[in-house]
Amino acid sequence: MQYRRHYHQGASYFFTINLADRSSDLLIKEIETLRNAFKTVKQKHPFHIDAIVILPDHLHLLCTMPNDDAHYSKRIKLIKYYFSYRIAKTERISKSRQKKGERGIWQRRFWEHCIRDELDYRTHIDYIHMNPVKHGYVERVQDWQYSSFHKFVSEGLLPVNWSD
């Protein structure tokens, strides 16, 4: 049976996007390149980033699609493309990827989940913000700089000691 993606206009989605090399720190090392890739895609294909965390080898993103274009796979593909295009070719590239003219930076697939309700939304935001602690990068959420947690604090949505 073939899997089909379901696109819902105006819906919110949670994504996990991984590097092919899970021991890499490329996303942190090239954080400005990644930010620019997001910015470029958002200008061409708007979407709202509700929450995000960038870890060395993967990222979690909760975003809301516009009412007139719910094609999230195009956006993910373009973010990966613009990031990959702007960094040096130092990664190992498998023969199958070479044949297809692909880089070896990202895992081919990503994981997505359509947010069902307000509880699901809040649960995924909490998961995003707690992820650096879960992976042992920091002991406190506020100590990880590559997270939308800081925006939530500055907007008064969460206290700085939320996870303590």
* Domain tally, the chain: 1
pLDDT, tens digit (0-9, with 9 covering 90-100), for 42-99: 999 999 999 999 999 999 999 999 998 888 999 999 999 999 988 877 666 667 666 6
125 within a domain of the structure (yes/no): no
**Which residues are catalytically annotated?**
146
pLDDT, tens digit (0-9, with 9 covering 90-100), for 129-151: 999 999 999 999 999 999 999 99
CATH number of the domain where residue 38 is located: 3.30.70.1290
Q: Which residue has the higher pLDDT, 87 or 37?
A: 37
126 within a domain of the structure (yes/no): no
103 within a domain of the structure (yes/no): yes
pLDDT, tens digit (0-9, with 9 covering 90-100), for 98-135: 666 666 789 988 999 999 999 999 999 999 999 999 99
- How far is Cα 129 from Cα 125, in angstroms, rounded to an integer? 6
Sheet holding 12-18, edge to edge: 48-54, 58-64, 12-18, 111-114
Which range of residues forms the domain containing residue 29? 12-116
96 within a domain of the structure (yes/no): yes
43 within a domain of the structure (yes/no): yes
142 within a domain of the structure (yes/no): no
